[in-house]
Structure 1
């Protein structure tokens, strides 16, 4: 289990997360919800050690992640697919994927069979530059890069944002498959409530840098969504 205990996080002097305590059960999809600017992305970045400063405990099983640099957190089994994907446009598809493999602890630097199974288009175009891909294909590439790390947990920050509708359903199906069939723990920042209700087993609702609601997905009522997510 991944746990946050009284976590605070900062960008320079800006205090973004306030005493966040949260449990992310192994083998489930936990959705992180809330309006824009409530700290959802900062929660993922704090987990990866990518904010200016943080306080509190972040534990993955017996490991205290809060004292580790980012690359050690990746090697502990956490892969991050950031908002905006952040692939390297001048690198080939092959090299973008293989970047993820440097987080493996077994020394293997290869494209795993799972990537070939999930993303046949990428495998057929390994020598094309990532920058020529569509937004949806770049999202597939970012997920493939994360899977090359052989992670225990994958962090997905609004994976359907800015993606053509024809690929949204495919991305959603892949996320569900990673969890249901492969047992991967998923921490998902997402605004699409119908998808969250179909895919996630648990949720955490954020407001002004704090977790204000948390529980099984059956607790995610329309009233709660309106109170904490309506603009």
Structure 2
């Protein structure tokens, strides 16, 4: 579905991604692993067209999108849940969710049918300001906003970071369900190796802006984790 070929990505003069090649299979979860500062977030931003410059090719379902602006990538079916969530604090829950719907190809602006089932708290508090929500509730809101775009692929950047333990398991269960039951392709940047092993079908390990090892998740050994993730 999504293929990166010799992708280099830059912020101003800083060269962050180096000749990245990665296949992201349709309908599967691909976990992107590595220490902090190895380029994982930049990889997701590059997929969305949010870095200053990119070289190489990004192919989505046979179409080259590497030169397309962010809004066209979103309309092509890629949704992004960034690290820190980036909800708009003065907007209501309803307004935050409906922002995602601007990327829908059919132009409809509506709350996805899945949201009441996945996140009942959000539906019970649609007029509440996003800024007063807890970290976990804001993460639910960010995922709901991404789903409003009716994506084929969802990019999740450390979705459990800064979330209270009581909600972490709920978020993890939602991510697995979106893949297994809804069929969404998921690219998951994650530091929690145990969750990556539970959720993902494939993995890619990053080091200094490069993919240093990748494969099926059952090939992810403790030695690889120690070598590339231990501090």
Normalising TM by the smaller chain, what interval?
Answer: over 0.9
Which position in structure 1 is the counterpart of 2:200? 200
- Cα distance in 1 between the residues matched to 2:221 and 2:150: 35
- Cα distance in 2 between the residues matched to 1:74 and 1:116: 23
Is there any run of 5+ residues in structure 1 with no aligned partner, and where?
none
- Cα distance in 2 between the residues matched to 1:62 and 1:5: 13
Deviation at 1:116, TM superposition (A): 1.3
Which position in structure 2 is the counterpart of 1:95? 95
- Cα distance in 2 between the residues matched to 1:227 and 1:148: 39
Which position in structure 1 is the counterpart of 2:169? 169
Query: Any idea what SS the aligned residue of 2:66 has?
Result: helix
Deviates further, 128-137 or 107-116: 107-116
Which digits, 9 at most, give the CA deviation of each residue in 1:185-225, with x for residues without a partner?
00000000111111100000000000000000011000000
Is there any run of 5+ residues in structure 2 with no aligned partner, and where?
none
- Cα distance in 1 between the residues matched to 2:230 and 2:12: 29
Deviation at 1:97, TM superposition (A): 0.1
Query: Any idea what SS the aligned residue of 1:143 has?
Result: helix
- Cα distance in 2 between the residues matched to 1:33 and 1:199: 13
- TM normalised by structure 1 equals 0.99
Deviation at 1:119, TM superposition (A): 0.6
Which position in structure 1 is the counterpart of 2:134? 134
Q: CA RMSD in A?
A: 0.4
Deviation at 1:63, TM superposition (A): 1.7
Query: Any idea what SS the aligned residue of 2:18 has?
Result: strand
- Cα distance in 2 between the residues matched to 1:118 and 1:89: 22
Which position in structure 2 is the counterpart of 1:4? 4
- Cα distance in 1 between the residues matched to 2:2 and 2:152: 11
Which position in structure 1 is the counterpart of 2:53? 53
Which position in structure 1 is the counterpart of 2:156? 156
Which position in structure 2 is the counterpart of 1:217? 217
Deviation at 1:115, TM superposition (A): 1.0
Runs of 4+ more than 2 Å apart: none
Which position in structure 1 is the counterpart of 2:29? 29
Alignment of 1:68-87 (within 5 A): 68-87=68-87
- Report how many residues are paired: 231
- TM normalised by structure 2 equals 0.99
- Cα distance in 2 between the residues matched to 1:65 and 1:85: 24
Which digits, 9 at most, give the CA deviation of each residue in 1:89-129, with x for residues without a partner?
00000000000000000111000111111111000000000
Query: Any idea what SS the aligned residue of 1:218 has?
Result: helix
Deviation at 1:11, TM superposition (A): 0.4
- Cα distance in 1 between the residues matched to 2:77 and 2:182: 15
